[in-house]
A and B are shown apart, each in its own frame.
Chain A
Amino acid sequence: MAAIETTDLTKRYGDLTALEALSLSVPEGELFGLLGPNGSGKTTTIEILTGQLEPTSGTARVLGHDPVADPLAVREAIGILPEREDPPSFLTPREYLQFVGDVRGLDDPEDRIAEWADRLGFREKLDTLATDLSEGERQRVMLAQTFVHEPDLVFIDEPLVNLDPIMQAEVKDHMREYCDRGNTLFLSTHFLEVAEQLCTGVGIIREGELVAERDPRDLGTDERLLDYFREEVGGGETGSGGESGAHDESEELAGDAGR
């Protein structure tokens, strides 16, 4: 069964087409990576699938729910980690996760908070104001809020931004284990090495159009995802890993124009 299914999903802002007839199927248990250059439509796709943005046309089902007709049902069932999102400045991680527990209706937030703080290594920072955390620590707190309610599907935009190499490895392991348990992870990233190592399926998007889908595990021994990516998007600015925190500025501008 597909965790995510879209048919001809399109988003336009006036004359600008951010997403063009995207048809995609992501099966349950997949660790799917959506790759593409800056401004190609990755963030728009995630925002539509998570019910944050309405498409101009086309349909989508996320865990059986329609994100246009019933966005709350979708958000209840999933976890979301947008790029460049920090926990509220004047709450501590503990309080922020309690707030998340409140809006998600969790009965036992304290145990879960302790568990995730241990797992992501910020237990000693649980009572520090978020404004005084390092960027890496804030990212860990945001990762915790994504998984704390144990959703079946999560959407993550650049999960490894600002994390040190050890934490990057641990988060990668966690994402693998998460999908091994039958859950689905939809990832948007500029790190092609990460996609190559982790993903069981990738889609390449260019100027709002899905131009290729591939299972990175099928790459030959002398093949690299980077070469395949270059072939599909025609070179360009994105591709190699190692650059953290590159921003989809044009996508955001398009998003702002539509609000």
Chain B
Amino acid sequence: MSRGLSVRLLGRMVREEWRLHAELFGDRFAAFPLLVAAVSGLGFWLLTLTAVSTEAVAAGLHGLVFFFGLQVGTIGLVGRDALRDVLGDVTLLVFSARTLPVTWRRLLGVFLLKDLLYYSGLFLGPLALGYAAVALSTGAAPATVGLLWVTTTGAFALGVGTSMTLAGVGTRSRPLTVGLVAVVAVGIATGRLDPVALSPLAFYQAPSLSTALTGFGPMLALAVVGPLAFQPADSGVARTATDRYSRLRSMFGDAGGSGSAGGVATRTVLEVARSSGSVWKVLFSMGVLFGVTALLVREVARATALAPSYGIAVGTLLGLGAFTTYSWVTQFDDEREYLRYPVGMSEVFAGKRTAYLLLSLPAGLVYLLASLVWVPAREVAVGAVVFPLVAVYVYGVTAYVTGLSPNELLFDTPLFAAFGAALAVLSVPLVVAALAYTAAPTVATGVALGVAALGAVVGVVLSRRAGPRWGVKVR
């Protein structure tokens, strides 16, 4: 009876997810898996041309999928209000515990399973297909491709479970959440905790009963702990807050432009800080991306004769990763809300830019500074220049292409393709420069700095044009 209910809930949640995407993106949505397969296949093929082994590519893929899982799982971090702000008056089944005789934990558990099935079919499957085309042509066994699909699905589940667990523990004690993250970070930094051994990647690299247990065990544990720990944010408790608006507003002064832009920036920073996960979610998502990139640079150096530039590679990837910050700063409003105030869209985007830079730059720079422990200062300095320049480019492109709705990129195939192409225009030369660093360090660094600076100029131009463009579009 009870299991039957969960199965029925699962079926309805999958249908709900499909309809949600179809409602948001129409027919364009169906082409998304094809695009993922094509783009990933192309990406893997390009990487093999640079002498990166398919094993290194597979390792990087696990890292990226884990990161994607973290992002998907942040529904628990964001909560119902933000979802309503993004999607309008949408009521999802996962939030029906208040009206139906179903526990919140069961709903969250089924929701997690639904995400796993849904995204493994629509996103991870095409990703594995793209990999298969390249891996099989290089002589890899077909079983390896199947194995990759299973373990990347596991890595995705690990990401979702980690997000959910952190959000769940955070609903009970924020210091405990910070403590957990700190313990894991220290464990990894000191070498006492091997993140690869505790992830499905371990099973991919060396399939055995032992690696199955150690590789998939944490994923299963987090999938149970997350929903158990979670206490819904909409619990009816009236939370009060001291007036931070005035203080923050006076700190900003006229940053970002007129009084209106300052107001938008202040409001945005407060909303990110007050929503579940606070500003830590920005630091956390940057941290995961930093870890994955640092690991990739190390793996490439180990697996090939190349010695990529740490500063260019990490600076570029952190800059691209600032997209997640853009997503946070636009999570709680949309263009139409501002049509009710005497504020121009240019001012709105100027305010958003201030909030985006204020949140993303310190978060990325913290990790770059931390890497001074094992990386030469010169490399860190290069990264510290490349990162903000790329972040400015990412802001301009995202604001211009998606307005205040960056989540529409997901599954809107033409928009995603245009956005991906725009990012590739800057990131591909930078990645090539990072790899060419081995042969010509000075030239590669110079080219990278020049390209990044040019990208920042383009970003500024696009961000200035985003306001007028969206001001016309929404009316």
The reply to whether B333 and A129 contact each other, CB–CB distance below 8 Å, is no
Residue B100 lies at the interface, judged by CB distance under 8 Å to chain A:
no
B342 touches A103 (CB 8 A): yes
Of A51, A75, A82, A94, which one neighbours B245 at CB under 8 angstroms? A94
Could you tell me if B239 and A91 are in contact, using CB atoms closer than 8 angstroms? no
| Complex: A128 Cα to B241 Cα, angstroms | 6
* Interface residue? A147 (CB, 8 A): no
Q: Are B89 and A84 in contact (CB under 8 A)?
A: yes
Q: Are B332 and A90 in contact (CB under 8 A)?
A: yes
Q: Taking the complex as formed, is A139 at the interface, i.e. its CB lies under 8 A from any CB of chain B? A: no
Bound-state Cα–Cα, A54 to B82, Å: 28
Kindly identify which residue among B81, B246, B262, B263 contacts A89, using a CB–CB cutoff of 8 Å: B81
Say if the beta carbon of A181 comes within 8 Å of chain B: no
Cβ of A80 under 8 Å from chain B: yes
- B244's partner among A51, A71, A95 (CB-CB below 8 A) is A95
Q: Output the least CB separation between B425 and chain A (Å).
A: 29
A52 engages B240 (CB within 8 Å): no
Closest to A80 in B: B340
Cβ contact of A131, chosen from B81, B242, B270, B342, cutoff 8 A? B81
Which parts of B414-445 form the interface with A (CB within 8 Å)? none
A interface residues, tally (CB under 8 Å): 36
Query: Would you give the shortest CB distance from A87 to chain B, in whole angstroms?
Result: 11
* Chain B residues closer than 8 Å to A131, beta-carbon distance: 81, 233-234, 239
Please give the distance in Å from A226's CB to the nearest CB on chain B: 29
The residues in B between 325 and 364 inclusive whose CB is less than 8 angstroms from any CB of A are 332-333, 336-337, 339-344
A103-B243 contact, Cβ under 8 Å, with A53-B475, A88-B332, A90-B274:
no
CA distance A105 to B342 in the complex (A): 9
Is A99's CB within 8 Å of the partner chain B? yes
Q: Are A88 and B259 in contact (CB under 8 A)?
A: no
- Selected contact of A127 from candidates B243, B333, B343, CB within 8 Å: B243
Asked if B259 contacts A95 (CB within 8 A), the reply is no
Give the residue of A51, A73, A103, A259 whose beta carbon is less than 8 angstroms from that of B263. A103
Q: Does B281 contact A (CB under 8 A)?
A: no
Q: Is the CB of A129 within 8 A of B240?
A: yes
A50-B340, A91-B267 as given contacts; A132 in contact with B475, CB under 8 Å = no
Kindly list chain B residues whose C-beta atoms are within 8 Å of the C-beta of A80. Answer: 340
Q: Which residues of B contact A75 (CB under 8 A)?
A: 339-342
- The verdict on A132 contacting B237 (CB below 8 Å), with A88-B332, A90-B274, A94-B243 known, is yes
CB distance from B426 to the nearest CB of A (A): 30
Residues of A within 8 A of B341 (CB): 75, 100, 103-104
Convert A5-17 into 0s and 1s, putting 1 for each residue whose CB lies closer than 8 angstroms to a CB of B: 0000000000000
Q: Are B242 and A102 neighbours in the complex by a CB distance under 8 Å?
A: no
1/0 per residue, CB under 8 A from B, across A98-130: the answer is 111011110000000000000000000101110
Interface centre among A90, A95, A129 (most CB of B within 10 A): A90
Asked if B275 CB lies within 8 Å of chain A CBs, one says yes
* A54–B249 alpha-carbon span in the complex (Å): 33
B85 within 8 A of A: yes
B260 on the A face (CB < 8 A): yes
Let me know if A104 and B274 touch, CB within 8 A: no
Q: How far is the CB of B408 from chain A (nearest CB, A)?
A: 12
What residues of chain B lie closer than 8 Å to A94, measured between beta carbons?
243, 245
Which chain A positions have C-beta within 8 A of B89?
84
Q: Residue B342 contacts which of A76, A84, A85, A92 (CB distance < 8 angstroms)?
A: A76
| B49 contacts partner chain A, Cβ-Cβ < 8 Å | no
Say whether A105 contacts B259, CB under 8 Å: yes
- Residues from chain B with a CB closer than 8 A to the CB of A133 are 238
Q: Are B270 and A90 in contact (CB under 8 A)?
A: yes
Report chain A residues within 8 Å CB of B379: none
Task: Write the chain A residue with the least CB distance to B276.
Answer: A90
Q: Is B243's CB under 8 angstroms from A89's CB?
A: no
B234, closest chain A residue (CB): A131
Contacts A72-B344, A89-B81, A90-B81 known; A99 to B267 CB distance under 8 Å? yes
Given A82-B340, A89-B84, A90-B271, 19 other A-B residues pairs in contact with their CB atoms under 8 A: A52-B336, A72-B342, A72-B344, A88-B333, A90-B275, A91-B267, A94-B245, A98-B243, A98-B249, A99-B263, A99-B267, A102-B260, A103-B341, A103-B342, A125-B238, A127-B240, A128-B239, A129-B240, A131-B81
